[in-house]
């Protein structure tokens, strides 16, 4: 499923505005993707389309970390193809998250700029910013770690974003509470920021699940019950 196309169609179907439908092809500002007028929300979709495990630069950095850890006696053997947070020491996984965070931070900063400029150019003062983060391919870190990392990046920065949703469209994920692979819809709020109406994000998730099922013809399992979560940082 093409994530951007599927989500554009979904937003139109529920009465939201796909902003590229009504602005010039090359606008004078960096526009966000969606506007939900009733909820007073401007949203930007960022899709993780590449698996960092296939990125030679990322792999080389991980290999260098593994050698460092092995010299310190934290790990043994050769570098594994996949590292889970529960299979290596916490100190080691912190290094992996640090390496991974650079690219994610750039994506989030870009989304913040797009939301800010869209609000300014379309006179949408008082609207909340929503980051829709779709993981479509990246297996470098587990979903709970990716979710927490996004919230950590947003904490104290990127003030236009009031909330982040981590979700998957084509990628099934293993989560701690069930042995059955799930599609995700995780809602995260940022401490100290005025929250989006929680019923909006929850209903958006419920309706997206129904839209996803209408496309695939299959009932999708989702994780998180569409309830907002605030991670203690």
Q: Give the β-pairing of 17-18 and 34-36.
A: antiparallel
Which pLDDT belongs to residue 231? 45
Length of the chain: 233
Q: What is the pLDDT of residues 43-56, one digit of tens each?
A: 999 999 988 878 88
Q: Higher pLDDT residue, 229 or 32?
A: 32
Is residue 140 within 8 A of residue 82, CB to CB? The reply is no
In terms of C-beta density within 10 A (0-12 exposed, 13-18 middle, 19 or more buried), how is residue 113 classed? middle
Angle at 148 between CA 145 and CA 152, to 5 degrees: 130
Going from N- to C-terminal start, the domains of the chain cover 3-51+103-229
Q: Higher pLDDT residue, 101 or 7?
A: 7
Which pLDDT belongs to residue 82? 67
Q: What is the band of 85 on the pLDDT scale with cuts at 50, 70, 90?
A: low
Q: What is the pLDDT of residues 185-230, one digit of tens each?
A: 999 998 888 888 988 999 999 999 999 999 999 887 777 655 555 4
Helical ranges in the chain per DSSP H: 3-13, 56-71, 90-121, 143-154, 198-216
Q: Name every residue whose Cβ is closer than 8 Å to that of residue 60 and which is 6 or more positions away in sequence.
A: none
Q: What is the band of 96 on the pLDDT scale with cuts at 50, 70, 90?
A: confident
Q: What is the 3-state secondary structure (H, E, C) of 3-43?
A: HHHHHHHHHHHCCCEEHHHCCCCCCCCCCCCEEECCCCEEE
């Amino acid at each position: 499923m093409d994530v951007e196309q599927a989500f554009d169609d979904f937003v139109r179907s529920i009465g939201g505005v796909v902003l590229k439908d009504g602005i010039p092809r090359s606008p004078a500002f960096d526009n966000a993707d969606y506007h939900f007028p009733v909820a007073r929300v401007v949203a930007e979709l960022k899709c993780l389309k590449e698996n960092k495990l296939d990125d030679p630069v990322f792999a080389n950095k991980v290999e260098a970390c593994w050698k460092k850890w092995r010299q310190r006696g934290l790990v043994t053997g050769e570098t594994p193809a996949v590292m889970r947070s529960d299979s290596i020491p916490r100190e080691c996984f912190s290094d992996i998250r640090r390496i991974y965070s650079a690219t994610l931070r750039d994506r989030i900063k870009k989304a913040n700029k797009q939301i800010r400029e869209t609000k300014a150019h379309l006179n949408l003062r008082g609207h909340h910013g929503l980051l829709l983060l779709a993981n479509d391919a990246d297996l470098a870190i587990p979903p709970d770690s990716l979710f927490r990392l996004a919230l950590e990046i947003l904490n104290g920065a990127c003030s236009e974003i009031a909330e982040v949703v981590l979700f998957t469209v084509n990628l099934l994920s293993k989560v701690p509470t069930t042995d059955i692979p799930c599609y995700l819809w995780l809602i995260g709020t940022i401490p100290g920021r005025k929250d989006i109406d929680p019923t909006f994000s929850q209903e958006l998730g419920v309706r997206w699940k129904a839209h996803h099922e209408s496309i695939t013809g299959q009932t999708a399992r989702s994780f998180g019950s569409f309830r907002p979560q605030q991670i203690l940082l």
